Structure 1
Amino acid sequence: MAQDRFAAQMERMHTGKGFIAALDQSGGSTPKALRLYGVTEDMYDGEEAMFDEIHAMRSRIILSPGFTGEKVIGAILFERTMRGEVAGKPTADLLWEDRGIVPFLKIDKGLTDKSDGVQLMKPIPGLVDTLREAEGSGIFGTKERSVIHEANAKGIEAIVSQQFDIGRTVLSCGLVPILEPEVDIHSPTKVEAETILKERILSHLDTLQDGQNIMLKLTIPTQDGLYDAVADHPRVVRVVALSGGYSTDEACARLARQPKMIASFSRALTEGLTKQMSDAEFNDALGANIDQIYRASVAGA
């Protein structure tokens, strides 16, 4: 049963038309996400109440009529969301069984200080235990983020090496990793950094063995089609794009020019949504965002 589910989810990730929703804001980014949603710090008391608010927001999104596998093929969750329930059902099971959406888990624990023009991931305590729990909870894969600020070859190699090392641990636990070496969209050397990143990714991909299949989540490149060779590599299931601070309109316009990338947007997905909206207003606004991101994701398919 579990093998059948995994195989069906792998096929969906490899060939499905649509995009991956990023619903994985964690402790540091949650207050900002809630403010954009119309929930300010004076409207909740303490961390537990804050996470209750963000879970309610995510549940509202997941249960919205337009949030289905027809256009949303995957969703990235925060640990608390994975361990929680939506409409009385474990989140991962509801996503796959009721909505046709493949569940992923964010596993990184934040970033180190900048060194050699990059920010590596902090250590991830109890990673294997978390991965085993995720696999047992019906999670298909993981997502782990680090950031490149400058076209520094040493720093970029360190980023890619760390991503692949963690990716191998994820693979050993039966999950599919989404490696996310983000390039800062404001970097003055973005084009050069992306060129170095592509070369290092391709080099590391060649070290993977048959069956060690991964995904990548990358900043939409300045040079259209830059990551086509990465997407075509036999060890790559899919290349997805982060919005990286671009507005929804700009992110979608840029993505539509990348025929071998699909979206994995967070802020762009929830742009314009507020707690104060009626359900009809909320569903219409979210549906419009989903439609726009979907169109950009399938534009070159």
Structure 2
Amino acid sequence: MSLSDSTMASMLKKVTTEQGFIAALDQSGGSTPKALALYGIDSSEFSNDEQMYDLVHQMRTRIVTNPVFTGERVLGAILFENTLDREFLGQSAAQYLWQEKQVVPFLKVDKGLCDEKNDVQLMKDIPALDLLLDKAVEQGVFGTKMRSVIKLANPQGIDDVVAQQFTIAKQILAKGLIPIIEPEIDINSPEKAAAESLLKSALLKALNNLANNQKVMLKVTLPDTDNFYAECINHQNVIKVVALSGGYTREQANEKVAANHNMIASFSRALTQGLSAKQSDEAFTKVLNLAIEDIFNASKT
């Protein structure tokens, strides 16, 4: 069920004009064991990838079907491809998010990171990207997300990251989807501020080369200087700039999001912090509601 023009317009209006944040529920094969461990499920409780993905889907289902997880505070949710092939309460995952929760569905499309070169990690090739994008369109997905990592302020490496991101973004735009471009800077980088300066310049140059109708979103590491990405936020080709928590605690990340006007959160680990498979439904709901409220409030500034 690909999106009608009116549904796509409704999702775009929501992301553009309403308050809230984006829930990153897209842990992939490499990060899923850690996510499950934080959720109270030890690696001894599964013996293969299929069991692991079943368990993490149960976690995601418990989150998105919870009554406090709605479009009133959550603008969107980023899904892993494995989740796109599954259901929430008998409905395909992406359709459930929008039809039942009014939460805009996004899909993580990258296949992980290459080895470090020029102090960055580019994305691995995505050989069947067109097929994946066609599936996303058919399932009613609004946009995509793809992540690279920057370690140091290496001009060549950062230019390579941005060039790769925008090349793939144009392929995604051609399918009628909205790409979230994510060039993460390691929060522990000794050259974080310098890397941010190089990245912003490269992003603005690439944004200026887009056609007027090519709209993207950016997902960036919370900057050292408040409102550092204001030029990106105000750029005519940018729908929204969202922030990853990047290893900060939820409290630290929320404080930094609140200090950056018109930037909103897109948290993964910081959203699920404190949730446990062992909690009663009442306790789980209480912890989730508090997390959602705190992140929502930080994203309102």
TM range (shorter): over 0.9
Q: Deviations over 1:142-171 (max 9, x none)?
A: 000000000011100000000000100000
Counterpart of 1:196, as a letter, is: L
Counterpart of 1:285, as a letter, is: V
Q: Measure the CA separation in 1 of the matches of 2:117 and 2:86.
A: 36
Q: Measure the CA separation in 1 of the matches of 2:43 and 2:102.
A: 34
Q: CA RMSD in A?
A: 0.7
Counterpart of 2:183, as a letter, is: P
Deviation of 1:193 after TM superposition, in Å, equals 0.4
Aligned mate of 2:281, from 265, 279, 282:
279
Counterpart of 2:298, as a letter, is: A
Deviation of 1:227 after TM superposition, in Å, equals 0.3
Percent identical among aligned pairs is 49
Pairwise mapping of residues 45-60 of structure 1 onto structure 2 (< 5 A)? 45-60=47-62
Q: Measure the CA separation in 1 of the matches of 2:69 and 2:194.
A: 37
Q: Deviations over 1:228-252 (max 9, x none)?
A: 0001000000000000000000000
Classify the secondary structure of the residue corresponding to 1:280: helix
Classify the secondary structure of the residue corresponding to 1:252: helix
Q: Measure the CA separation in 1 of the matches of 2:104 and 2:85.
A: 16
How many aligned positions are there?
299
Q: Measure the CA separation in 2 of the matches of 1:65 and 1:284.
A: 11
Q: Measure the CA separation in 1 of the matches of 2:83 and 2:4.
A: 21
Q: Deviations over 1:175-234 (max 9, x none)?
A: 000000000000000000001100110000011002100000000100111100001000
Q: Deviations over 1:24-55 (max 9, x none)?
A: 00100000000000001111221100000000
Deviation of 1:125 after TM superposition, in Å, equals 1.8
Aligned mate of 1:172, from 164, 171, 174:
174
Q: Measure the CA separation in 1 of the matches of 2:160 and 2:14.
A: 31
Map of 2:244 onto structure 1? 242
Map of 1:10 onto structure 2? 12
Classify the secondary structure of the residue corresponding to 2:261: coil
Map of 1:101 onto structure 2? 103
1:196 aligned onto 2:187? no
Classify the secondary structure of the residue corresponding to 1:144: strand
Counterpart of 1:55, as a letter, is: H
Q: Measure the CA separation in 1 of the matches of 2:199 and 2:215.
A: 19
Deviation of 1:260 after TM superposition, in Å, equals 1.9
Map of 2:26 onto structure 1? 24
Classify the secondary structure of the residue corresponding to 2:149: strand
Map of 1:290 onto structure 2? 292
Map of 2:229 onto structure 1? 227
Q: Measure the CA separation in 1 of the matches of 2:266 and 2:132.
A: 23
Name segments (4+ residues, structure 1) moved above 4 Å: none
Q: Measure the CA separation in 1 of the matches of 2:83 and 2:31.
A: 15
Classify the secondary structure of the residue corresponding to 1:238: strand
Pairwise mapping of residues 94-173 of structure 1 onto structure 2 (< 5 A)? 94-173=96-175
Classify the secondary structure of the residue corresponding to 1:124: coil
Pairwise mapping of residues 37-76 of structure 1 onto structure 2 (< 5 A)? 37-76=39-78
Q: Deviations over 1:277-297 (max 9, x none)?
A: 000000100100000100100
Deviation of 1:14 after TM superposition, in Å, equals 0.9
Deviation of 1:16 after TM superposition, in Å, equals 1.4
Q: Measure the CA separation in 2 of the matches of 1:199 and 1:47.
A: 41
Classify the secondary structure of the residue corresponding to 2:125: coil
Map of 1:214 onto structure 2? 216
Q: Measure the CA separation in 2 of the matches of 1:292 and 1:210.
A: 35
